[in-house]
Structure 1
Amino acid sequence: MDSSNNEVIHDFPPFLKVYADGRTEKYIKMDFVPAGLDPKTGVQTKDVVVSPEIGLRARIFIPKVITPDQKLPLLVQYHGGGFCIGSSVDTVTHNFLSSLVTQANVIAISIDYRLAPEHPLPIAYDDSWAGLQWIATHSNGLGPEPWLNDHADLGRVFLEGESAGANIAHHVAVRAGVTKLAGLRIVGLLVVHPFFGGKERDEMYKFLCPTSSGCDDDPKLNPAVDPHLKSMACDRVLVFVAEKDWLKPRGVAYYETLVNSGWGGTVEFFETKGEDHCFFLFNSTCENAMSLMKKMVDFINHN
């Protein structure tokens, strides 16, 4: 092999590096959890095909105690990972959603959008949107997935994402408003430690999304320049940031943008002191993680 092919031309730790011959190498290797019964929480999971044409899948989480005709709020989750790592079936997502489903008494579905750079952005956005459209087909109780037909209250839908997933969740909510998506009602949006670019990560985003300038004039990196922001289809938003997270300023700016946008809903802000980016996914039993989880649960169960 030509040694020049081993030259690293892009390096974006802790996500990926790119070699001169076009190969990519991802720094983090994820562990996966098979669908079935979670012994710790009693949560049942099932993997479903959203679109066989593109291989789009999702995982559904149902709490331990649910009666045959019981309808629960539905949480639609978009995992983080810089748009290039992570999955709806990895250990981190599984543990987080199993805990949230148990504590909030909701059904959750994690959309397993395709990852960049193998599938360049905006494919992840389009997959995530396709997932919500598929969910909406269950509004009459005749959709393709019985768990959603039987147990999901599509009049009480929440979108949630962490990091890159928070970016995706926001844009899906805006798209739902612009298109006036029928069949479900998005009550709330949980935006957790959102990735809206900044510093060197703008260059990574530009690599993952070749059609993007990678700068603040891209609405996907800067919601303040999105002319459709006022159309966002939800009633309430909860923005989470962490004090030591280098992305905190972008999260604060997002909150302030919503407050001043004329969007018309209500927005809350929750900062965790002394913690870094997405700490709660990797240390879920610490006091700050439990406080963050309680805030999520209270937001979902707010009447």
Structure 2
Amino acid sequence: MASQTDDDDITCRFRFFQVHKDGRVELFYHFYPHSDPNIPPSDDPSTGVRSKDVTISSHSPVSARIYLPKSAKPDRKLPLLYIHGGGFCMESAFSSTYHGFVSNLVAEASVMAVSVEYGLFPERPIPACYDESFIVLQWIASHSDGNGPDAWLNDHADLKRVFIGGDSAGANITHTVASRIGSNGLGDVKVVGLIMVHPFFGGMEDDDMWMYMFPGNTGLQDPRLKPATEDLAGLACERVLVFLAEKDHLLAVGKSYVEELKKSGWNGSLEVFESLGVEHCFHLFQPNSENALDLVSKFASFLNKVV
């Protein structure tokens, strides 16, 4: 939590951090409650899910945790690129919160997953999160000929059925990564769908916080904050699933994203799933609740839906 500091020393205060006159940024939280900041990959006997960590780029601090389900052989599995939330300034692909969630999802859906460890503000201000998540997607695509740097992806990934998903800030990053694909595509790799859980976009009190974290932003109409119509219309996927929560402070911006996507001219299939009586990212804090289990089940069904 924040230290007790004279308010006269604070130049600005946001939901997740405050800034001192000397430029020092003080985060209020580093990890979600009850989240261990770094747990190792493992072979989980309870789910049969195996995981390992990989370095994606030697030129920047980009890494990921890869998950392989028990049923990996002999079938080839669709890979999910998962992008964690945390307000662009906290949490990790390696924390107990996200390791547990992604492991459960991989076990439920019987898919592979690549969970991105991207740079966080203030050490790595936005747009590092967007750039580094896209680097990981390109790294996944480098396995399309079966001769990429990672054996698990070479041996098990079906790169004709790639999904990108994330929650909160990670859902925002998910949209931006997909919009970067655009008409250029990813060679032989096909992104089939996007999953956005309780997404953050512009139009609420945290807009100023996002702009502070991104010195190079172009204002409230920046397409990474407020998706542009042309980016929505050109989303390089066939299907989108948006999760909402009734008591989420981001509910209105999530609904706005859904309506703008409908109006944009994008010709894919859109599904919306709203959880009643629960708050933002409840599934991470109460993973064994009925609503959380329903969310994971819906997520898994979307991944495996045959169209």
Match of 2:58 in 1: 52
Match of 2:19 in 1: 18
CA distance in 2, matches of 1:232, 1:198: 21
After TM superposition, give the deviation of residue 7 of structure 1 in Å.
Answer: 1.6
Equivalent residue runs for 1:69-88 within 5 Å: 69-88=74-93
Match of 1:262 in 2: 265
Shift in CA distance, 296/4, structure 1 to aligned 2, threshold 3 Å: closer
Q: In angstroms, what is the RMSD of aligned CA positions?
A: 1.7
Tell me whether 283-292 or 15-24 shows the greater mean CA deviation: 15-24
Equivalent residue runs for 1:35-114 within 5 Å: 35-67=41-73, 69-114=74-119
Find 1:33's aligned residue among 29, 39, 48. Answer: 39
Question: Partner amino acid for 1:239?
Answer: V
| 1:153 matches 2:169 | no
Match of 1:227 in 2: 230
Question: Partner amino acid for 1:115?
Answer: L
After TM superposition, give the deviation of residue 38 of structure 1 in Å.
Answer: 2.5
CA distance in 2, matches of 1:214, 1:71: 43
After TM superposition, give the deviation of residue 295 of structure 1 in Å.
Answer: 0.9
Name structure 1 gaps, 5 residues minimum: none
Match of 1:277 in 2: 280
The TM-score normalised by the length of structure 1 is 0.93
Find 2:142's aligned residue among 115, 127, 137. Answer: 137
Name structure 2 gaps, 5 residues minimum: none
The TM-score normalised by the length of structure 2 is 0.92
After TM superposition, give the deviation of residue 281 of structure 1 in Å.
Answer: 0.8
After TM superposition, give the deviation of residue 64 of structure 1 in Å.
Answer: 2.2
Question: Partner amino acid for 2:257?
Answer: Y
Give 3-state SS (helix, strand or coil) of 1:191's partner.
Answer: strand
Question: Partner amino acid for 1:9?
Answer: T
After TM superposition, give the deviation of residue 233 of structure 1 in Å.
Answer: 0.8
Question: Partner amino acid for 1:135?
Answer: I
After TM superposition, give the deviation of residue 17 of structure 1 in Å.
Answer: 2.0
Kindly indicate whether the alpha-carbon contact (under 8 Å) linking 2:54 and 2:63 is maintained by their aligned counterparts in 1. Answer: yes
Can you list the C-alpha shifts for 1:185-231, whole angstroms capped at 9, x where unaligned? 1111101100003332011001101122442x1111111x3433222
After TM superposition, give the deviation of residue 39 of structure 1 in Å.
Answer: 4.0
After TM superposition, give the deviation of residue 173 of structure 1 in Å.
Answer: 0.9
CA distance in 2, matches of 1:152, 1:20: 50
Percent identity of the aligned residues? 47
Give 3-state SS (helix, strand or coil) of 1:227's partner.
Answer: helix
After TM superposition, give the deviation of residue 65 of structure 1 in Å.
Answer: 3.2
CA distance in 2, matches of 1:22, 1:5: 14
Question: Partner amino acid for 1:98?
Answer: S
After TM superposition, give the deviation of residue 35 of structure 1 in Å.
Answer: 1.3
| 1:218 matches 2:222 | yes
Question: Partner amino acid for 2:93?
Answer: S
Give 3-state SS (helix, strand or coil) of 2:160's partner.
Answer: strand
Matched residue count:
297
CA distance in 2, matches of 1:195, 1:87: 17
CA distance in 1, matches of 2:192, 2:167: 18
